[in-house]
């Protein structure tokens, strides 16, 4: 399995428009963060987690040209608004792309992208050809690849993280129940959100994310969905052994 972190930033991206803080003016490329998303290649499948606002740029930047499936964490705009750019892929490969998420996510996306159901546009393939699939909180398969949804809270909103093999990806999370934590035992790599230093009502902050990683004890943890509070080199140097900050373009294999 190959994983690429396509984006490691929050909904504003880094640098933030109009901001001159230390992170936003940093020359370190690891402080330049597109909106949060990840790419997985396993078996013969190319799986995307979230079509971020920066999806087009992320695909070009990482020399990627194909997606088979998209797993959605939730329906907030920074995680879905790049969906229209799947159109280039469905046209090029003459195929339909499966989209997966909980019922609320799929229902909200059907409203946001209602034009994809226009028969004439579908006929001429001038919209992304996609199939919406409602997920329940139980494992399912894409061909022979087992996907385990992990239901978490993003404030009061129920969202999904995902486990694929020994890899798990959870972003925009503020609470994980003990029952759902059991799904995350024995991981080799965990990617988890760690928004900022200060507490936040709907996301783990840095210290909370560290506590979750210490409890789960994966071989390696990468923190994502980072605000401009997080200066890469400065904060990375303070993290416990086995925990690092993710960055755009980070690639690893399991």
CA–CA separation, 161 and 183 (whole Å) = 11
The structural domain count of the chain equals 1
Q: What is the DSSP string of 185-217?
A: TT-SEEEEE---SS--SSS--HHHHHHHHHHH-
Summarize pLDDT for 203-253 with one digit per residue, the tens: 999 999 999 999 999 999 999 999 999 999 999 999 999 999 999 999 999
Tell me the pLDDT tens digit for each residue of 65-114: 999 999 999 999 999 999 999 999 999 999 999 999 999 999 999 999 99
Cα gap 166→158, rounded to integer Å: 23
Residue 249 neighbours by CB under 8 Å, 6+ apart: 4, 5, 61, 62
Neighbours of 104 (CB within 10 A): 14
Q: Which domain holds residue 85?
A: 2-253
Residue 75 belongs to a domain with what CATH number? 3.60.15.10
What pTM was estimated for this model as a whole? Answer: 0.97
Instruction: Classify burial at 206, counting beta carbons within 10 Å of its beta carbon; exposed 0-12, middle 13-18, buried 19 or more.
Output: buried
Distance from C-alpha of 22 to C-alpha of 230, rounded to nearest angstrom: 9
Taking the C-alpha atoms of residue 141 and residue 251, their distance in angstroms, rounded to an integer, is 24
Q: Which of 88, 98, 101 is nearest to 172 (CA)?
A: 101
Instruction: Please give the structure tokens belonging to residue 172.
Output: 């925009």
Q: Are residues 210 and 177 in contact, defined by beta-carbon separation less than 8 angstroms?
A: no
**For 173-206, how does the pLDDT look when each residue is reduced to its tens digit (9 = 90+)?**
999 999 999 999 999 999 999 999 999 999 999 9
């Amino acid at each position: 399995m190959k994983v690429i972190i396509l984006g490691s930033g929050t909904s504003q991206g880094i640098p933030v428009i109009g901001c001159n803080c230390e992170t936003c003016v940093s020359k370190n490329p690891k402080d330049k963060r597109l909106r949060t998303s990840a790419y997985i290649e396993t078996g013969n499948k190319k799986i995307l987690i979230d079509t971020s606002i920066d999806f087009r740029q992320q695909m070009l930047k990482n020399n990627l040209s194909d997606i088979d499936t998209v797993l959605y964490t939730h329906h907030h705009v920074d995680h879905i608004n790049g969906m229209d750019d799947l159109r280039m892929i469905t046209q090029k490969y003459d195929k339909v792309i499966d989209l997966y998420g909980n019922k609320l996510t799929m229902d909200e996306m059907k409203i946001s992208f209602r034009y994809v159901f226009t028969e004439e546009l579908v006929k001429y393939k001038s919209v992304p050809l996609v199939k919406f699939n409602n997920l329940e909180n139980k494992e399912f398969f894409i061909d022979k690849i087992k996907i385990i949804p992990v239901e978490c809270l993003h404030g009061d909103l129920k969202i999904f993280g995902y486990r694929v093999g020994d890899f798990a990806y959870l972003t925009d999370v503020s609470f994980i129940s003990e029952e759902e934590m059991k799904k995350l035992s024995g991981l080799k790599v965990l990617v988890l959100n760690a928004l900022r230093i200060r507490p936040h009502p709907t996301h783990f902050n840095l210290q909370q994310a560290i506590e979750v990683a210490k409890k789960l004890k994966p071989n390696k943890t990468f923190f994502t969905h980072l605000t401009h509070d997080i200066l890469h080199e400065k904060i990375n140097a303070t993290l416990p052994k086995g925990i690092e900050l993710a960055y755009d373009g980070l690639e690893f294999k399991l």
